[in-house]
Structure 1
Amino acid sequence: MKEVLAAMAAYNAKAFDALLDILATLSSPLRAKDTGAYFKSIDGIAEHMAWAQALWLKRFASFGRYACLEDSPLLARSLDELKAELK
């Protein structure tokens, strides 16, 4: 089971990195545009995904500092605000 979970985590990390690379090619106005989706915009969806990943990390280990989330232009709120909400 450990191998399956490790493979799933590796796939998830690779897929998320690829998604961030794609999002980095989009203009800020396009990412911020209200799409009518639940999380409003591409930025909102990306923030939700980052928040969800942080939540899962918290479940498996103590919540430390993650360079991939520090000062991310995709997060509308600071990482410290997100961490405070998770506690």
Structure 2
Amino acid sequence: MTAPWGHYARYNRLANETLYEACAALSDEERRRDLGAFFRSVHGTLNHLLLGDRIWMTRFEGGQHPSTDLGAVLYDDFTELRAARVAMDARIERFVADLPRAFAAGTIRYLNNSGFTSEDPLDVLLPHFFNHQTHHRAQVHTLLSQLGRDPPVLDLHRVLRPNPA
């Protein structure tokens, strides 16, 4: 596993498991309530996060992802969304487990969602990938507070502890 990517992939999975557990306690109406967030609701933000991960993983694996509305709802059903999240997190962990050290020294060329061709260094895109996940989990964390729920602890050092306290 190429450090630190393995730690970030593991944290991503564990943080998502924790966050989805908190979101599962919401009613469907609460998850879909427009709270004024960029992707409006908990459900919209979770869908965006999965979409972003699909786009970047496809690019990292050498493919091209079709341009799409970044607010697209991939899964209308929360149970299906959660299952897709679990599958994506497993895909991310497998990917970084086999990542050669030289990977981050390269670049990728891709068509962005605005239709422009970009080429960026992977030593910038890999941190962006994990930062994007954290950024949107933080939005869901805030939305849980707005819904009157206690959001879970998602600090990296606490989530990665063998016995979280």
User: TM exceeds 0.5?
Assistant: yes
Could you tell me how far 1:61 is from its partner in structure 2?
2.4
Matched, 1:12 2:12: yes
Aligned residue runs from structure 1 range 17-28, under 5 A: 17-28=17-28
How many residues matched?
70
Q: Which structure has the bigger radius of gyration?
A: 2
Q: CA deviation at 1:57?
A: 1.9
TM-score (norm 2): 0.37
Using the TM superposition, give the Cα deviation of residue 71 of structure 1 relative to its aligned residue in structure 2, in angstroms.
6.0
Per-residue deviation at 1:2? Answer: 1.4
Q: Which amino acid aligns with 1:44?
A: G
Q: Is the 8 A contact 2:47 2:75 kept in 1?
A: no
Shift of 1:56: 2.5
Matched, 1:73 2:77: yes
Amino acid at match of 1:45: T
1:52 deviates by 1.5
Root-mean-square deviation (CA, aligned residues, Å) is: 2.6
Distance of aligned partners of 1:71 and 1:32 in 2 relative to their CA distance in 1, 3 Å threshold: closer
Which runs of 5 or more structure 1 residues have no equivalent in the other structure? 64-69, 76-85
Deviation at 1:36, TM superposition (A): 0.9
Gaps of 5+ in 2: 64-73, 82-112, 114-165
Give distance in 1, aligned partners of 2:45 and 2:30. Answer: 13
Higher relative contact order (CA 8 A, sep 6+): 2
> Normalized against structure 1, the TM-score is what?
0.66
- Give the secondary-structure state (helix, strand or coil) at the position aligned to 1:34: coil
Single out whichever of 6-15 and 48-57 deviates more from structure 2.
Answer: 48-57
